[in-house]
Amino acid sequence: MFWQSKEIIFKKSITFKPILYLMNILEIFSKDYLFKKSGKLFDKGYIEFEKGNYQKALDNFLVSLIILEKANIGQSKKNELIVTRLIFIAQSRGKIEQFELAEQDLIKALTLKPEDIGIYWSLGSLKLDQNKFEEGVPLFEKMIELNPLDPNGYFFRGACMLELGKYKDSIPDFEKSFRLDPKNDNALVALGDAHQELQEFGIAVEFYDKAISLNDRNSAAFVNRGNCKVELGLHIEGCEDYHRALELGDRRVQENIDEYCKKQ
């Protein structure tokens, strides 16, 4: 660049200096400049999002979107990138409980890309965050309609059913999700939870066993298996599961330990 190469420039004809200056100006106003600037801000926002700095992430995503909308790129590509930014904006808003604004962002994204499964997932997640499980069901059903091979639609519809107390209805969804993604230990935990709610503690334990065999660091599997074992009268084994969950960092299980394990 011009100001990084003064010594070289001074050795050249003076007529070369305005040409280099003009090149810098043209770079700033080139079609790639705004596009690249938007991308850099988006990357900064993503880093902040991963750190849990959701307000900083939101600020970067919003500016990235404004700049992108002014970029001189093809409309199809622009729409796709705008949708990505709107999804991340909505997710950031959701984390700081700006639910109404987040939903508006996602509805705007749907106008640009009405068949995007990620938008429906984001809308459904907002409903879960607000405990609006009944409203979440049709959104996850739309995911299933758009892509019947995506395990997430089934899993989260099942999660809504579970929260709504429709335990038997949740089981086929969790089973389908696990068939599509056999490495998902959380689907097995969810199956265990459904059977536990149905008071089928022995069956629930079998699912928690399978989940732990896939991922022996899944603290929820240990806590919930411990709950079932306590219900089955196996207090010592149940407390062993509670203590394992505590070792994994699940501090909430201390309440179970205080209630059931002090005499063990």
The burial class, CB within 10 Å (0-12 / 13-18 / 19+), for 134 is exposed
Residue 170 lies in a domain: no
Average pLDDT over residues 49-55: 96
Q: Are 140 and 124 in contact (CB under 8 A)?
A: yes
- Rounded Cα distance, 12 and 22, in Å: 16
Angle at 33 between CA 47 and CA 29, to 5 degrees: 150
Which tens digits make up the pLDDT trace of 215-253?
A: 999 999 999 999 999 999 999 999 999 999 999 999 999
Domains in the chain: how many in total? 1
Residue with tokens 């059931």: 260
Q: Is residue 143 scored above 70 in pLDDT?
A: yes
Query: In angstroms, what CA-CA distances link 246 with 201, 207, 223, 226, 256?
Result: 22, 20, 9, 12, 10
Long-range contact set of residues 233-239: C-beta below 8 Å, sequence gap at least 24: 235/260, 235/261, 235/264, 236/264, 239/264
Residue 188 lies in a domain: yes
Residue 79 lies in a domain: no
Which tens digits make up the pLDDT trace of 177-213?
A: 999 999 999 999 999 999 999 999 999 999 999 999 9
Q: What is the pLDDT, as a whole number, of residue 30?
A: 54
Q: Are 241 and 226 in contact (CB under 8 A)?
A: yes
Tell which wins on pLDDT, 41 or 7.
41
Enclosing domain of residue 189 = 183-264
Q: Is residue 17 scored above 80 in pLDDT?
A: no
Residue with tokens 């939903």: 103
What CATH number does the domain containing 203 carry? 1.25.40.10
Residue % of the chain over a pLDDT of 90: 84
Confidence of residue 25 (pLDDT cuts 50, 70, 90): very low
Please give the model's pTM, rounded to 2 decimal places.
0.82
In the predicted model, what is the mean pLDDT of the chain? 89
Amino acid identity, residue 98?
Answer: Q
Residue 241 lies in a domain: yes
Q: Is residue 73 scored above 70 in pLDDT?
A: yes
Residue 187 lies in a domain: yes
The phi-psi region of residue 202 (left if phi > 0; otherwise alpha if psi is between -120 and 50; otherwise beta) is: alpha
- Rounded Cα distance, 148 and 223, in Å: 32
Which tens digits make up the pLDDT trace of 96-116?
A: 999 999 999 999 999 999 999
Q: What is the pLDDT, as a whole number, of residue 232?
A: 97
Q: Is residue 35 scored above 90 in pLDDT?
A: no
Residue 244 lies in a domain: yes
